[in-house]
């Protein structure tokens, strides 16, 4: 009989997944799934990582064999559309810019991954100047974007297309722009964001394998390479899409004495490192920030915070000349 693994109630995924029926069902099955995976892959589990709203992860090592000394991570994800492309994307990268995928169980959405050691987040490397961290992030993106995309019609999992994803967001923006909002919520920005979300993917000069969630918390120090990406949401699409979370979350440019100047400098810096048009990077910044505002005005009970985010989106639109 397989011994189940205790899942601490304090983990963020327990609180988040407990909010809806499919999440609760996944949580109920999780202890037994972990026991099965431990036995199937011959793993020794350590304490789980306190992070991740829809996945469980823990450092592990193999019990025996030639790879017994190698530090790994076991990650089990609640099945949802964004999660389905993670393993195929990691397989395509094959260690270029991202952690290696050692094993995958599609039925359980379980991934056995290379562990980043020491694993310091790019966003928390405060002893490194912001510009230098941005360049480190750009270096990782350059590696990620070299992965070959599957040929159209090729066998295997289909990677989501950026245009399909952003079209859904655009529809949401248009619907919410038509609602009545308190003073301070600029519905014109919703309309602007919707137009960008529809138009930008189709005007890209090339398609690459995108990380999809390239914030500095998903870039860690490692042994094999100075920095490696984790937790991707792979898509195929415009490379300029990937940059905004990096630019926004290495420190806080909006908290600077001169936010427009800092943002103009940062977008020019990363665009120059990667051979992209700075104005295109800025246009995607507007689109992605508006998409975040869409979530905030519905999910966040703090209206003042949502209005503050709208002002940031307006600043970005002015910077992009929109």
**Enzyme catalytic residues:** 213
Give residue for tokens 């979370």.
Answer: 245
On whether the CB atoms of residues 286 and 193 are closer than 8 A, the answer is yes
If DSSP states are collapsed to H, E and C, what string results for 217-277? HHEEECCCCCEEECCCCCEEECHHHHHHHHHHHCCCHHHCCCHHHHHHHHHHHHHHHHCCC
The token duo for 268 is 């020019």
Calculate helix-pair angle for 303-319, 187-199, nearest 10 degrees. Answer: 50
On whether the CB atoms of residues 41 and 23 are closer than 8 A, the answer is no
Nearest by Cα to 228 from 110, 101, 47: 101
On whether the CB atoms of residues 250 and 133 are closer than 8 A, the answer is yes
Q: How far apart are CA 78 and CA 220, in angstroms?
A: 23
| Adjacent-strand bridge partners of 227 | 221
Give the other-Cβ count within 10 Å of 265's Cβ: 18
The two counts, helices (H) then strands (E), for the chain are 10, 9
On whether the CB atoms of residues 187 and 177 are closer than 8 A, the answer is yes
Name the strand (E) or helix (H) holding 103.
strand 101-105
On whether the CB atoms of residues 270 and 246 are closer than 8 A, the answer is yes
Give residue for tokens 């898509």.
Answer: 235
């Amino acid at each position: 009989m397989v011994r189940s693994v205790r899942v601490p109630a304090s983990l963020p995924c327990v609180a988040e997944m407990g909010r809806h029926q499919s999440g609760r069902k996944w949580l109920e099955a999780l202890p037994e799934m972990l026991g099965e995976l431990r036995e199937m892959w011959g793993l020794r589990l350590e304490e789980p990582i306190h992070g991740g709203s829809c996945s469980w992860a823990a450092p592990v090592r193999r019990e025996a064999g030639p790879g017994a000394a190698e530090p790994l991570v076991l990650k089990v994800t609640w099945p949802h559309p964004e999660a389905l492309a993670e393993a195929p994307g990691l397989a395509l990268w094959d260690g270029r810019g991202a952690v290696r995928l050692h094993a995958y169980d599609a039925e359980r959405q379980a991934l056995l991954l290379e562990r980043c050691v020491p694993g310091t987040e790019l966003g928390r490397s405060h002893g490194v100047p912001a510009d230098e961290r941005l360049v480190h992030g750009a270096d990782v993106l350059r590696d990620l974007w070299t992965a070959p995309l599957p040929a159209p019609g090729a066998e295997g999992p289909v990677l989501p297309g950026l245009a399909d994803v952003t079209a859904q967001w655009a529809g949401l923006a248009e619907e919410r722009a038509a609602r009545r909002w308190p003073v301070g919520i600029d519905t014109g920005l919703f309309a602007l964001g919707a137009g960008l979300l529809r138009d930008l993917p189709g005007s890209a000069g090339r398609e690459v394998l995108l990380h999809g969630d390239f914030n500095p918390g998903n870039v860690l120090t490692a042994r094999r390479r100075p920095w490696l990406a984790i937790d991707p949401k792979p898509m195929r699409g415009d490379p300029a899409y990937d940059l905004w979370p990096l630019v926004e979350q290495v420190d806080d440019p909006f908290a600077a004495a001169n936010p427009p100047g800092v943002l103009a400098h940062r977008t020019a810096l990363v665009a120059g490192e990667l051979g992209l048009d700075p104005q295109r990077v800025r246009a995607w910044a507007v689109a992605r920030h508006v998409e975040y505002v869409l979530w905030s005005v519905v999910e966040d009970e703090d209206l003042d915070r949502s209005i503050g985010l709208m002002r940031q989106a307006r600043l970005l639109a002015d910077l992009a000349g929109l």
